[in-house]
Amino acid sequence: MKKKHIALALILWSLPLLPVWAFGVTDTGQTTCFDNEGNAIACPSPGQPFYGQDGNFLINPPSFSKTDSDKTVTDHATGLTWEVKTAASLEETVTQTEALAYIDGLNAEAFCGHRDWRLPTILELHAMVDFEHDGPAVDTDFFPNTQKTRHYWSSTTSEVEGVTKYYLLNFDLGHVSNTTNPDTAATVRAVRGAPLTNPSRYHLNMDNTVTDFNTGLIWELKTQENTSDKWHQHMAAAYCNDLEIGGYTDWRLPTIKELLTLIDYTRTEQPMLHMPVFTNSVIAFHSEISACYWSSTTSVTPVIQTGKKTMAWAVDIQHGVTKRGFKTSQDNSGDAFRVRAVRGGQALQPGGLVITNPKPGSTWHKGDTMLITWENPSPEIPGNVAIAISCDGGKSFASITDDTPSDGAYSWTVTEQDDVNGVLKIMPLHGAYAARGASTGIFYTECRKYLCAIPHDDTTREIGSQAVIDVKLSTAPENTVAFDVTCSDDTEARVTPKALFFSSENWCDTQYVTVTGKDDTEADGNQDYYVNVSVNTEFTKDTSGFAALAPTQVSFTNIDDDTKQSDGEGSVKAADGDTSGGCFIGCLETL
């Protein structure tokens, strides 16, 4: 194993000491690929029919070990420890109140030496599900005596439009449902460990995509034009495979576990997504009973109906539950749901390398030692490998090492990096095996905080024409962030408003600055100036880092109407000048 230090010319934001594992969405366990008739097939390659389904991709594979004399199981992918049920529990049912009392009893007796047992959240229960199997859809080697005909209580509730709902999971298929009746007969499995919550931690990439800090996934942001489009499941996968947004072409249909992480159970209105990030997310129309989005995960339980026998999983964003829909079959029938593309994780290559660390969704900081690990297939790929890192989601890469033994591990010390969308790539150097490399993401080498200012135009005119600047924050602040808006030359233009305020509620709402040209009555030619957006420290209450942002400047040219320059057709031409625009990153190092 080798160790190497590498420095990339990026700006560090903060210096925590340890890598952080955020949400830890786990792989579904589904490794088999299917056609539309439910037949198992060899997992297709890009460009082949049925490519883009769950079995083509891997993200955080489950890893269990038995602990406490087989009374508990530790899930190393999530860090949670689960109670193992006994045969006597197979016939037990409890209400929601009784489930909480059961947890209290475990803590009172210090079950397995611990007093921090609790009811799992619905996302934690769902993370246990093995979608390669059913009846029960769980790894029975580690979780014996799992009831497949009963629901399991979670601690998750919602209060949508004044109605309290309790969320449960059925391990027969891995189905998430809800009930308004807390006296429903269900069962209980205790868990301990840091809760896998799903707080609103999103980063707008300003290119119609958004990064989820917790899962390490980049999501498509729908537009008003395509938010209502509905597809059969295989066409939904094809839509994602053909999508190009933000300069990326590796979009895919999300797995059912990935898709469920978008649900915000704290919402009091429909849809149950974090708003305003997912603003163009429709709920059901009047003729529909739900608003479902397809996943890439096939239901392995066959359902025989006329012309239909294979189903795939979907998430209902109106109710926060999972459902199944029919795939298209030979008679071209099947359910049509909506689609939201995702990228992240790693595409599996037959006979290729598999990266096991870093994990998608993890965060790394200056001075951290990142142990890069990977698995070599059997038979092994001969020769050494090269390792590279991308700080722009995989568009470009910088070398970590050009040549190291393919022994499954490489130690790298992170220095001076600032990136949200990190991707790691490992490439065999043996020419015959070059295509069997692997890449994984998205992880973070820092969370950038910046102001994005995008002008619609770069000129104003003395006759009073206007330009508009769209202003957003990259991510949610913890408290209010105030900005002053000024013009470098008040004789050439005026700006309105002169102050902007962002909060955790409106951080990704576009605010607009209007720039109006002023007439100075002098034949002084075209004049360059800039609009300055700077933090007002007096009114900024946020302490998460936005107060240290450098000023953002957007350049303009005010066209002089007293001295006209003809282009041969009588029109007015602006003098050449700086036409800067786009996203301006103003990060200052904090010590």
Select, from the ranges 35-44, 443-452, 479-488, the one with the highest average predicted confidence (pLDDT): 479-488
pTM of the complete model: 0.75
Contacts of 445 (CB under 8 A, 6+ apart): 363, 364, 365, 391, 414, 417, 418, 419, 422
pLDDT (0 to 100) of residue 197:
64
Confidence of residue 359 (pLDDT cuts 50, 70, 90): confident
Sign of CA dihedral 342, 26, 13, 482: positive
pLDDT (0 to 100) of residue 105:
97
Domain ranges of the chain: 3-19+364-443, 33-192, 451-584
Q: What is the pLDDT of residues 306-316, one digit of tens each?
A: 555 689 999 99
Q: What is the pLDDT of residues 422-442, one digit of tens each?
A: 899 999 999 899 989 998 888
Enter the DSSP assignment of 88: G
Select, from the ranges 33-37, 65-69, 394-398, 437-441, the one with the highest average predicted confidence (pLDDT): 65-69
Instruction: Please compute the mean of the pLDDT values over residues 260-265 and round it to a whole number.
Output: 93
- Residue that wins the pLDDT comparison between 349 and 82: 82
- Tokens encoding 229: 């489009």
Query: Is the pLDDT score of 47 beyond 70?
Result: yes
- Residue that wins the pLDDT comparison between 491 and 448: 491
pLDDT (0 to 100) of residue 303:
64
Confidence of residue 5 (pLDDT cuts 50, 70, 90): very low
- Which CATH architecture group holds 3-19+364-443? Sandwich (2.60)
- Phi/psi zone of residue 225: left (φ > 0), alpha (ψ -120 to 50 degrees), beta? alpha
Contacts of 153 (CB under 8 A, 6+ apart): 94, 96, 99, 119, 166, 168, 186, 187, 188
pLDDT (0 to 100) of residue 512:
92
Question: Tokens 């904090």 identify what position?
Answer: 590
Percent of the chain with pLDDT over 90: 51
pLDDT (0 to 100) of residue 204:
81
Sign of CA dihedral 395, 398, 401, 402: positive
Query: Is the pLDDT score of 286 beyond 60?
Result: no
Query: Is the pLDDT score of 590 beyond 50?
Result: no
pLDDT (0 to 100) of residue 330:
57
Instruction: Please compute the mean of the pLDDT values over residues 81-95 and round it to a whole number.
Output: 91
**Ranges 128-137, 386-395, 558-567: which has the least confidence:** 558-567
Confidence of residue 168 (pLDDT cuts 50, 70, 90): very high
Confidence of residue 454 (pLDDT cuts 50, 70, 90): confident
- Is 33-192 the same fold as 3-19+364-443? no
pLDDT (0 to 100) of residue 337:
93
- Cα–Cα separations (whole angstroms), residue 557 to 271, 458, 466, 571: 44, 6, 11, 17
- Tokens encoding 572: 């007015």
Domain covering 451-584 in this structure, CATH number: 2.60.40.10
**Ranges 18-32, 115-129, 216-230: which has the least confidence:** 18-32
Q: What is the pLDDT of residues 479-507, one digit of tens each?
A: 999 999 999 999 999 999 999 999 888 88
**Ranges 113-117, 256-260, 448-452: which has the least confidence:** 448-452
- Tokens encoding 123: 């996302």
The neighbour count for residue 289, using CB atoms within 10 Å, is 9
* Beta pairing class for 583-584 and 80-83: unpaired
- Tokens encoding 420: 């949200």
pLDDT (0 to 100) of residue 547:
87
Q: Are 425 and 393 in contact (CB under 8 A)?
A: no
Burial of residue 378, with CB atoms counted within 10 A of its CB: 0-12 exposed, 13-18 middle, 19 or more buried: exposed
Fold designation for 33-192? Mannose-Binding Protein A; Chain A (3.10.100)
Query: Is the pLDDT score of 539 beyond 90?
Result: yes
- Residue that wins the pLDDT comparison between 79 and 387: 387
Q: Are 397 and 56 in contact (CB under 8 A)?
A: no
Instruction: Please compute the mean of the pLDDT values over residues 359-382 and round it to a whole number.
Output: 85
Query: Is the pLDDT score of 3 beyond 70?
Result: no
Query: Is the pLDDT score of 163 beyond 80?
Result: yes
Instruction: Please compute the mean of the pLDDT values over residues 73-94 and round it to a whole number.
Output: 91
Query: Is the pLDDT score of 20 beyond 50?
Result: no
pLDDT (0 to 100) of residue 475:
77
Instruction: Please compute the mean of the pLDDT values over residues 522-526 and round it to a whole number.
Output: 84
Instruction: Please compute the mean of the pLDDT values over residues 281-292 and round it to a whole number.
Output: 64
Contacts of 287 (CB under 8 A, 6+ apart): none
pLDDT (0 to 100) of residue 149:
86
Percent of the chain with pLDDT over 70: 84
Query: Is the pLDDT score of 449 beyond 80?
Result: no
CA distance linking residue 329 with residue 336, whole number of Å: 12
CA dihedral 348, 354, 360, 366 (to 10 degrees): -140
Confidence of residue 24 (pLDDT cuts 50, 70, 90): low
Instruction: Give the chain's count of helices (H) and strands (E).
Output: 4, 38
The side-by-side arrangement of strands in the sheet containing 191-192 is: 64-67, 72-75, 80-83, 191-192
Query: Is the pLDDT score of 387 beyond 90?
Result: yes
276 prior amide bond cis, ω within 30: yes
* Beta pairing class for 3-7 and 409-415: parallel
Q: 435-454 in b/e burial notation, b at 16+ Cβ within 10 A?
A: ebbbbbbbbbbbbbbbbbbb
DSSP string of 251-310?
-BPPPHHHHHTTB-TT-SSSS-B-TTTTTT-----TT-S--EEEEEEEE-S---BTTB--
Confidence of residue 219 (pLDDT cuts 50, 70, 90): very high
Confidence of residue 350 (pLDDT cuts 50, 70, 90): confident
Mean pLDDT of the chain: 83
Q: What is the pLDDT of residues 287-298, one digit of tens each?
A: 455 689 999 999
pLDDT (0 to 100) of residue 549:
87
- Type and span of the H or E element at 107: helix 96-108
pLDDT (0 to 100) of residue 263:
93
pLDDT (0 to 100) of residue 507:
82
Query: Is the pLDDT score of 199 beyond 80?
Result: no
